Structure 1
Amino acid sequence: MLTILSNKDDWRIFPTELAKRSKDSEDSIYRELKKLEKFGYVRTYKKSLGRGKGVTAFRFCADRKISDEMFEQLKKQLDKELVN
């Protein structure tokens, strides 16, 4: 969590990148992210790249639980940034 929060605000959370920065395996990172998500500190927004182009995951992380209202605001802000 500290590694995630110590990066710039626009840094995207990639488990592969986190694994490179630590002694933990990528599977371990995924498990820990799932735990943080279960408790509300990480929220994942899966966004379509267009028909037949797949889906990408955007993860939001905070030192406080991310409420549904805050999650909706974060998704709207991201959608605006992706359009530009």
Structure 2
Amino acid sequence: MSERMTRIVELGLAVLAIATAVWCWNRGVQTSDFAPAMDSAPAFTGTHYSGTWIGAATALVIVAGLLVIDVVRRRDRGGPQ
């Protein structure tokens, strides 16, 4: 595989990793609306964060960052373009 094709594939994988990270993050945050417990109490919204989904999103962002760093390294190495 040529250097240029490798860079294109890595950039594509980085974009895919970011898109998947956004999806994972959205799956990891859930909100619930609760009715008032008593007549004089206000209603409220609770937020639940799932560590597994948030952790997966974080790992995917790290992978995407490493892919972008490698693309820049390959470009700056001075090889054939």
Give TM-score, length-normalised by structure 1.
0.23
Give the greater-gyration-radius structure (CA). Answer: 2
Which structure: greater helix fraction? 2
Give TM-score, length-normalised by structure 2.
0.24
